[in-house]
A and B are shown apart, each in its own frame.
Chain A
Amino acid sequence: MENKINRRGKYVYLLVAFVLFWIVLFEFILSSNLILPRPYFVLLSLGDLFADYHLIFNIFSTISVIYFSIITAFFIIWLFRIYLVNGHNIIRYTVAALGWFAGFIPSILIVLFLFYWLGSSEYVKYIFGFFSCFILFFIKLEDETSKIGNEYIDAAASIGANSKMIAGKIRWKSVEPAIAGYIPEIHLYLWSMIIVIEYIKGGSGLGVVFRTALLYRDLPVLFSSALITVIVVFIGESLIKYLNNRYFIRSAN
């Protein structure tokens, strides 16, 4: 734990050093360049970002898709946990087969088909987000279920637990930390994919901000919106990790 804190501290120092380096280099030495914007222009661009690029609305649009997808998919998996972790059934086989198959399909191809079927509807983002999360959770669930130690199931069955109880109190509880621990990975994947979808599709979302900034070759806005995205992803991931530690990760006490 102490090592982790020390490492974090070093990362923060390094980050501050990078920022200082950027300020000195791009504000005073390379003030006119096409690589990175001047820090002063980035500060100025924040005003444009909120006024002209409607950052609040667009960021809310992206965030709503990402967290709606994660929360809904996790909730559905949790709701049907007893059915999903207990033995073999047709839904498990079907979704597992779909998941296996989807593993060979670049996600962007699925997005293109959704564009073809649904046009530029905002639902494309939600449908893609939800199904991606659900299938990823499900594949993880399948993978983790196969690793559950028989000792837990035997011990529970021998003290009189029925199959429903074994599914809910043993099997699901065995895999729950791994499923919850997988959320940060899904979170980052969704951020990447949703921004790409918004970028291609238009409408609303951070992807639209990036597209407009690129269209006008507005480097300070591109830089500041990227910075804000990173900060929001960091906050989101920290929140997910906090909730994981609070509710899903087993205490070592």
Chain B
Amino acid sequence: MNDFLEVRDITKSYIGEAGSKLLVLDKVSFSTREEDYITSILAPASSGKTTLLKIISGLDYQHEGGILLKGNKVANKIPFIPERPSSFPWLDVEGNINLVFKMMEESGNVARYKMRELIDMTGLTGYENHFPSNKSQGFRFRISLARTIAVSSAIILLDDSFKAMDNETKDELFQLLKNISVERKIRFLIASSNIPDAFTVSDRIFLMRKNPVSIVSDINIDKNNKGPEQIKNQITAFIKEENIINMANFSI
């Protein structure tokens, strides 16, 4: 079994308002495997998940430790979908996706074909010229997803993007992520504080504790042998047993 994404001893601290040094991440280490298409980092709210994802993405480079992708140092930034809707409201669906092609200096029929494919894949067909303003979170997420897939990265990071969505939308999007991960061989690393979301969508879950953040355990989701309720109960029981993560900070 080969490691796909390897996060090694990530430590991050900053100087707080009072002048004291705050340790946000303390030697966080974990690695995902080739076969883990969707991995979740399950951690309490405000525990540093976003910071960790930004470090993995390459957006925050002031930290200690290293990140390897398929055994190599990450050369480019890893696409990251933030918690709040990040589709650009001044561009329509096509414009949002086309921005990536412009950056990669791709144009003509190839870009048009790729765009068509991405629009169809993310369920945005018929909405090509619609703008994200006043649209649902799910719609805006689909645009962000199409845009990040256009980058052709092997892995995409999602930061608790489903937090404010209703269950029906979440189920649709989880299925979409699963389909895309299999069809396009794209891995997703999701940060979440919602236990049901994490076990519904993930192949593997890393549990993180707060203050300072470090990985406590990883759980393989065996969906073939266990039903969703059993898995949920397993995770909930595990968190309670460990007694190191405040349950109040999770959505169950």
Tell whether A pairs with B.
yes
Expressed in whole angstroms, the Cα–Cα distance for A176 and B134 within the complex equals 18
Q: Closest CB of chain B to A152's CB: distance in Å? A: 6
Shortest beta-carbon distance from B69 to chain A in Å: 14
Residue of A nearest to B57 (CB): A158
Q: Which residues of B contact A251 (CB under 8 A)?
A: 92, 131, 133
Q: Does A76 contact B (CB under 8 A)?
A: no
Given A251-B131, A252-B133, does the pair A159, B89 have CB atoms closer than 8 Å? Answer: no
CB distance from B67 to the nearest CB of A (A): 14
Bound-complex Cα distance A174 to B88 (A): 9
Asked whether any CB of chain A lies closer than 8 Å to the CB of B83, the reply is yes
Q: Which of A150, A158, A160, A250 meets B89, CB within 8 Å?
A: A250
Q: How far is the CB of A167 from chain B (nearest CB, A)?
A: 14
Q: Does A253 contact B (CB under 8 A)?
A: yes
- Residues on B with beta carbons closer than 8 Å to the beta carbon of A10: none
CB–CB A159/B82 < 8 A: no
B191 to chain A, nearest CB (A): 13
Residue B84 lies at the interface, judged by CB distance under 8 Å to chain A? yes
Distance (whole angstroms) from the CB of B157 to the closest CB of chain A: 8
* B contact residues, total (Cβ < 8 Å): 35
The residue on B at minimum CB distance from A169 is B99
Question: Cβ of A250 and Cβ of B54 under 8 Å apart?
Answer: no
Interface: A155 (CB within 8 A): yes
With contact pairs A170-B88, A251-B133 given, residues A155 and B76 touching in the complex (Cβ less than 8 Å) = no
Contact B134 A252 (CB under 8 A): yes
Contact across chains for B58 and A158 when beta carbons are under 8 A apart: yes
Interface flag for B147 (CB, 8 Å): yes
Asked if B248 is an interface residue, CB under 8 A from chain A, the answer is no
Within 8 A of B (CB), among A139-157: 149-152, 154-157
- The B contact surface, by secondary structure, is loop
The verdict on B193 contacting chain A, using a C-beta distance below 8 Å, is no
CB distance from A249 to the nearest CB of B (A): 10
- Pick the contact of B147: A159, A170, A174 (CB < 8 A): A159
Count chain B CB atoms within 10 A of each CB in A149, A154, A159, A165 and give the residue with the most: A159
Q: Are the C-beta atoms of B82 and A160 separated by less than 8 Å?
A: no
Bound together, the chains give a CA A121 to CA B85 distance in angstroms of 53
Residues of A within 8 A of B157 (CB): 158
Cβ distance A113 to chain B, nearest Cβ, rounded Å: 40
A169: chain B residues within 8 A (beta carbon): 99
B4 within 8 A of A: no
Specify which chain B residues have a CB less than 8 angstroms from the CB of A155 in the assembled complex.
80-82, 86, 144, 147-148
Between A and B, 6 residue pairs with Cβ closer than 8 Å are: A154-B57, A155-B82, A158-B78, A177-B90, A250-B90, A251-B133
Taking beta carbons and an 8 Å cutoff, which residues of B are in contact with A? 54, 57-59, 76-86, 88-92, 99-100, 103-104, 129-131, 133-134, 144, 147-148, 150-151, 157
Beyond A154-B86, A250-B90, 9 additional pairs, beta carbon < 8 A: A150-B82, A156-B88, A157-B59, A158-B148, A158-B157, A159-B103, A170-B88, A173-B88, A176-B90
